[in-house]
């Protein structure tokens, strides 16, 4: 769909009603400044030279000692579950895979 003169006039009338006649010049000025800034930034990005490949030997540290423990993380160990106890009952320690604790019956 094409914008025709009646469409543009209607759009201008809506903008005039939204912003008012006193703020319309400020809105247009700020819009123009924003477009100019954006155009300058796009031009700078386009004209920016492509980074040349960096020589790896120039940026690598010469003598950096590597600690053996930093090279490989320690092997994980299996966690041991803590023993749980019920207060007041000495035989209530529960061990995984063992028999359940002696709990008082209600």
Both structure tokens of 6: 């009646």
Task: Output the CA torsion sign for 9, 11, 14, 19.
Answer: negative
Q: Given the structure tokens 């094409």, which residue do they identify? A: 2
Q: Is residue 37 part of a domain?
A: yes
Q: pLDDT tens for residues 34-70? A: 999 999 999 999 887 766 555 555 555 556 666 655 5
pLDDT at residue 97 greater than cutoff 80: no
- Total count of domains within the chain: 1
Domain extent, residue 27, equals: 21-49
Q: pLDDT averaged over the chain?
A: 74
Least confident of 25-29, 91-95, 97-101: 91-95
Q: Is residue 30 part of a domain?
A: yes
Q: Is residue 58 part of a domain?
A: no
Both structure tokens of 99: 């028999």
Is the Cβ–Cβ distance between 101 and 93 less than 8 Å?
yes
**What pLDDT does 39 receive?**
96
Q: Is residue 29 part of a domain?
A: yes
Q: Which residue has the higher pLDDT, 53 or 15?
A: 15
% of the chain residues with pLDDT over 70: 49
Q: Is residue 25 part of a domain?
A: yes
**pLDDT winner (highest mean) among 24-28, 51-55, 71-75:** 24-28
Q: Is residue 31 part of a domain?
A: yes
**What pLDDT does 52 receive?**
53
Q: Is residue 102 part of a domain?
A: no
């Amino acid at each position: 769909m094409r914008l025709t003169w009646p469409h543009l006039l209607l759009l201008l009338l809506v903008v005039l009603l939204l912003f008012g006649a006193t703020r319309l010049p400020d809105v247009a000025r700020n819009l123009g400044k924003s477009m100019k800034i954006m155009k300058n930034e796009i031009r700078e990005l386009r004209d920016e030279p492509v980074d040349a490949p960096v020589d790896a030997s120039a940026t690598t540290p010469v003598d950096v000692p590597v600690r053996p423990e930093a090279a490989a993380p320690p092997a994980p160990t299996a966690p041991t579950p803590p023993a749980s106890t019920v207060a007041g009952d000495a035989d209530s320690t529960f061990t995984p895979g063992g028999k359940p604790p002696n709990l008082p019956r209600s």
